[in-house]
Structure 1
Amino acid sequence: VGQWFRQQSDQVKFDEKTLLKPSVDIEEYSTDVVHQMFGRFASIKAGLQVASSRLTAQAVAMSNNDDMKKLMAQQQQRFVAEVNSLVESLERVEGHAKALTSNNLDLRQKLRASEEAKYIWEKRYKQVEDREESLVSQMEDSITKRTEALQKAMSQQAGDKDSRMRMVMDQLKEHEQEVFAAMQQVKNKEREMSEIQAE
């Protein structure tokens, strides 16, 4: 139909240009030729009326056709289904994005808590280690001083052998008690460090 319209339109334009052309000699066109042109115009007009009527009838038929209505309803249903599917997909993607964001925040919080716990543990471990080193240093100083005092007392002591031996034994016993007490403190610190490491 579209091609037929274009052909008829081209023919009409050609005839109009031919009739309105200034250089055309009217004498070249006889009455028969003019009648033929008008006849062709009338035929084109009639054809246009017929085509218009047919197109109008087809449009009315399409609007009243149950099959066409059913087809359009099916197309609408498919379109709605596709839109709903797209919306569901977008909602799933949004849900996944929110879940990932939430998991990321949880992991960051756990990591921060772990780092804080590690810092506290390292600080406590360093404190225990420093106390242990200080205790060992104090023990060494005490042993050195006791030994020097013992040697000095033995060299300066003037008395009988038994008195000197008793003094030496007393000092050794006192020294042994101090060493035992210091060793107990070391064991306590080692146990405290083991408990910290276990945490």
Structure 2
Amino acid sequence: MILTDGRHHHFILYKPYGYLSQFKSHDSKQQSKKFLGSLFDFPENAMAIGRLDEKSEGLLLITTDGKTSAFVNSQKVEKEYYAQVDGNISAEAIEQLKCGVEIGFNGIKYKTKPCKAFKLNETPNLPKRSKKIRDDRHGPTSWVSITLNEGKFRQVRKMTSAVGFPTLRLVRVRVGNIQLGTMQVGDVVAVDWFLI
């Protein structure tokens, strides 16, 4: 589906590790944090479509169109993540992820919806993260692809922890048909529309 409107602005961003998915601080306690507004001169009414938490990286869509944001945030659009996990993730854990696992939000239990998940046979070709991740001297790691139609707070991290393989690095690589591709950390691409 093509979402477009000549009056609006749309951007594709590779959000770096350590940045909040907002443009400036709304809280005096966040003055030391990094914001998207320092990466590019976004329009005043720009908004992130969905969020990536401070420690997550990757594809983030920015728009000035609230209807576009609402559509992408609906459960109709797939979001794919690559997660580097602590340990050599097992076939059993992958099956658990695919079927749905129980995670918690503010003390309330929630079972995730069935999703697509598979172990990556090779380390994905991603830019190095600004903060070093522990190396294999501290035990093996592995990579898994997880594709969701929902987006609860820190969901992928909670899911991999629930099956015994905590996430060490999390990169969103796809939203609908939009791919991270060869973008580098901090890249911003202005587009006329989103082909979702």
User: Same fold by TM (over 0.5)?
Assistant: no
| TM-score category (smaller protein) | under 0.3
Structure with the greater alpha carbon radius of gyration: 1
Larger strand proportion of the pair = 2
Q: Larger RCO: Structure 1 or Structure 2 (Cα < 8 Å, ≥ 6 residues apart)? A: 2
Larger helix proportion of the pair = 1
When normalised by structure 2's length, the TM-score is 0.17
